[in-house]
Copies of this chain bind each other. A is one copy, B any other.
Amino acid sequence: MLPKITLYYDVISPYSWIAFETLLRYQKKEYFDLILKPIFLGGVMKETSNRPPAMVPAKGRYMEKDLDMMSRYYGMKLVQPKDFFDTAITKGTLNAVRFLAAIEKEDSKYLVPASREFWKRLWLRQESAHEESDFLEVGDKIGLKKESIDGVLKKMSSPSIKDVIKNNTAEAIADGAFGAPWIKVEKANGERHSFFGSDRMPQICFFIEKPFLGPLIEEECRSKI
């Protein structure tokens, strides 16, 4: 039995994007079974009285340079939203993650491309990701048919979908999360450990007793993410 890794993520978090792509690349090596759970990061921050890194000016300045370094290391491209505060706090991503939960219910194979599409909007193309027209574009980009998109849009504000995000978020907090990405690793022998952040792949590999293979950029290029 393979270890089980659960990634709790919100598309507002660029480090979640890095963890998402890295875990998907390692998953192809059959290192583990990967479960993806969108959460609402705003809820986690509020519940744990944490503050986003950008609230400390020096951290905000570091993050910009760090994301550039991480982009190069992981062969991804990351571009800071023009007005991050407005994007993250005023507009928020609660509807985006609800859209993801509804997409997964519609057909789980769309969860990966839809999540990635949101990150590309927010952290690459500086586009918005909170209006109905944004969701229509995401659905269209990932090849979802018009009637499916309509169904997803209807579903996303239903109590059952709201509950998916609420429950995922509560589950992450109960596991100890205070930010995103939050990565829960459960081994076949019952041992478990949860990691915060995108830069713990060497320790995750150590924990599941597999060699760390670096950023696996060649996978990236092959799959043309």
Q: Which residues of A contact B (CB under 8 A)?
A: 48-50, 56-59, 61-62, 65-66, 69-70, 72-73, 173, 176-178, 193-197, 199-203, 206-207, 212, 214-215
Q: Judging by beta carbons under 8 Å apart, are B50 and A176 in contact?
A: no
The residue that A196 contacts in the complex, of B62, B176, B177, with Cβ under 8 A, is B62
Give the shortest distance, in Å, between A52 (CB) and chain B (any CB).
12
Given A199-B200, A202-B202, A214-B212: A58 touches B207 (CB 8 Å cut-off): no
Copies in the complex: 2
The residue that A66 contacts in the complex, of B70, B196, B212, with Cβ under 8 A, is B196
The residue that A62 contacts in the complex, of B49, B69, B178, B214, with Cβ under 8 A, is B178
Closest to A206 in B: B73
- For the complex, give the distance between the alpha carbons of A190 and B94 in Å: 43
Q: Judging by beta carbons under 8 Å apart, are B62 and A56 in contact?
A: no
Q: Judging by beta carbons under 8 Å apart, are A57 and B48 in contact?
A: yes
- For the complex, give the distance between the alpha carbons of A189 and B225 in Å: 32
Q: Judging by beta carbons under 8 Å apart, are B199 and A58 in contact?
A: no
Give the shortest distance, in Å, between A63 (CB) and chain B (any CB).
10
Please indicate the chain B residues that have their CB under 8 angstroms from the CB of A70 in the complex: 203
Q: Judging by beta carbons under 8 Å apart, are B212 and A59 in contact?
A: no
Q: Judging by beta carbons under 8 Å apart, are B50 and A58 in contact?
A: yes
- For the complex, give the distance between the alpha carbons of A69 and B183 in Å: 14
Q: Judging by beta carbons under 8 Å apart, are A58 and B178 in contact?
A: yes
Q: Judging by beta carbons under 8 Å apart, are B73 and A178 in contact?
A: no
Give the shortest distance, in Å, between A3 (CB) and chain B (any CB).
15
